[in-house]
Structure 1
Amino acid sequence: MSAQTSGFTVTTINVNGVRAAVKQRNDDNPGMLPWLTAAAPDVVLLQEIRASEKLARKALAPALDDGWQLVMTESSVAGHAGVGLLTRTEPAAVRIGFGSDEFDGLGRYLEADVDHDGQTVTVGSLYLPTGAALTEDPKDVAKYEEKLRFLDEFGPYLDGLLASGRAAVVAGDWNIAPDERDIKNWKGNRKNAGFLPHEREWVAARLAGGWVDVAREHHGDVPGPYAWWSWRGKAFDNDAGWRIDYHLATPQLAARTRRTWVDRADAYNLRWSDHAPVSVVFGS
């Protein structure tokens, strides 16, 4: 049970390299592990682990010694992507990928069945490709088309998970801001990856199909709250961020939402990732 409040707390965080996240950055910033102890969610969904399982376990050793269970899938491309889950109890089942020949070996998606008050909840950790705007640059074309292929495959998988009737929540770094409320400078990003029309339409289709954007439903018609800010310039200080880290939940689970929040650092030098943890508490 979470130290923050009673219920079942699911936190998502893109750690931007787990080995870097756990390091002490300065006298006031001891890194990720003290945050994990203080926050004490029931499940932590990790993205961009960017390490082999052996190295990730070494980095997270204090947490694992304290009873956390780690399941993860690393990318076949060294130092790239990688997703996982930290849980307080061993999951009943773990499934890597979503049946994709192209993406299942790249550390993009993992899900597990965990118990909450005798009910099985499927929790999925997602790191969706960043993509690129479509230009004449071959590298941009490759990134644009990779993200499009991922969306084409993952959309039907999510639709099937919803149709299964299971209580489920898929969270992580979606690399898509759903609408104008989700980017501080949305006008300047209309032609950039993460806010392209077809990307937003893809998210809208999932919501129209029945998935619930928990934070948006909870916070209502307000800007953000953002959970990613560039390391560059004054983006963090000016709260010029993006809401690309969020939870999509099945309706029956979303109806049990008690609270959701972004655990934003108090100052730039206290950050241990360019993303902030986003948490949702579900009741029984």
Structure 2
Amino acid sequence: MTHMKFISWNVNGLRAIVKKDFLTTFNTLDADFFCIQETKMQPNQLTLDLPGYQQFFNSADRKGYSGTAIFTKHTPQNVTYDIGTDEFDHEGRVITLEYPDFYLVTCYTPNSGTGLKRLDFRMGWEQVFQDYLDSLNASKPVILCGDLNVAHEEIDIRNPKTNHHNAGFTNEEREQFSQLLSRGYTDTFRYFNPDATDRYSWWSYRFNARDRNAGWRIDYFVTSNRLQDHLVEADIKDQIFGSDHCPILLTTKDLHV
């Protein structure tokens, strides 16, 4: 039985976190696939020495903003960037790797912003991105990971009552995540931990939020339902520091690369 480990982490600036303990953490986790969001860099701004890994970057047109990366031990059959709609394809938000048994998609979902000024953009993104996932899923199962910028249910946020109109916990965003799952996908952390409380992946830098564990669960591994028999473990690595997010983990079995 072959197990594979997937890690996803919004690092809030790859160049910044590399100056901390990123490489130690990276080597300790020893993942087959290490997916990163919010790289905040162009590929020529950093050279990472990661023996045994292939590196794929998708950077925003705007420097120091957004961006994604995947580091993998397994050579993909195909690599694509973005989601094929010009309105949404300038911020480096998606990378897709194709393997014999699945697609791996890392995503940094647009934040609706202060005062929800980008909520309309976000809602447009949701429709196009979910259709994109379905187009992949029609061919082979999907493993989606990343900072999806939504706490799905009240159990996924420390202070639900005071956040209902804040970006990441609006009814509109939460309904979009419900809609995604209804299309045939599994929130893997909830699959293994349906009732777990106080498990978060992001904490504001303000008000000592992480010390108080006043967090949000907005980072996910979401998989096609038909991969459920291949799921071994999903976890949140909340003892790992270096960003305002922590890494999340998915372990699978018997998938061919």
1:20 aligns with 2:16: yes
Q: Per-residue deviation at 1:166?
A: 0.7
Name the CA distance, whole Å, in 2 between partners of 1:206 and 1:152. 9
Name the CA distance, whole Å, in 1 between partners of 2:90 and 2:104. 19
Tell me the percent identity: 30
Residue 223 of structure 2, aligned match among 233, 243, 249 = 249
Residue ranges of structure 2 left out of the alignment (5+ in a row): none
Name the CA distance, whole Å, in 2 between partners of 1:255 and 1:172. 22
How is 1:79-94 mapped onto 2 (pairs within 5 angstroms)? 79-94=64-79
Aligned AA (1:220): P
Name the CA distance, whole Å, in 2 between partners of 1:99 and 1:280. 27
TM-score (norm 2): 0.93
Aligned AA (2:19): K
Structure with max Cα Rg: 1
Name the CA distance, whole Å, in 1 between partners of 2:183 and 2:198. 23
1:148 aligns with 2:123: yes
Counting matched residue pairs gives: 254
Residue 99 of structure 1, aligned match among 84, 95, 98 = 84
Q: Per-residue deviation at 1:177?
A: 0.8
Q: Is the 8 A contact 1:126 1:174 kept in 2?
A: yes
Q: Per-residue deviation at 1:144?
A: 2.1
Report the secondary structure of 2:146's partner residue.
strand
TM-score (norm 1): 0.85
Q: Is the 8 A contact 2:110 2:149 kept in 1?
A: yes
Q: Is the 8 A contact 1:224 1:243 kept in 2?
A: no
1:239 aligns with 2:239: no
How is 1:188-207 mapped onto 2 (pairs within 5 angstroms)? 188-207=162-181
Residue 174 of structure 1, aligned match among 119, 141, 148 = 148
Residue ranges of structure 1 left out of the alignment (5+ in a row): 25-30
1:160 aligns with 2:130: no
Name the CA distance, whole Å, in 2 between partners of 1:224 and 1:68. 34
Alpha-carbon RMSD across the aligned residues, in angstroms, is 1.7
How is 1:25-40 mapped onto 2 (pairs within 5 angstroms)? 31-40=21-30
Aligned AA (1:7): H
Q: Is the 8 A contact 1:254 1:282 kept in 2?
A: no
Report the secondary structure of 2:95's partner residue.
strand
Aligned AA (1:279): L
Name the CA distance, whole Å, in 1 between partners of 2:101 and 2:41. 29
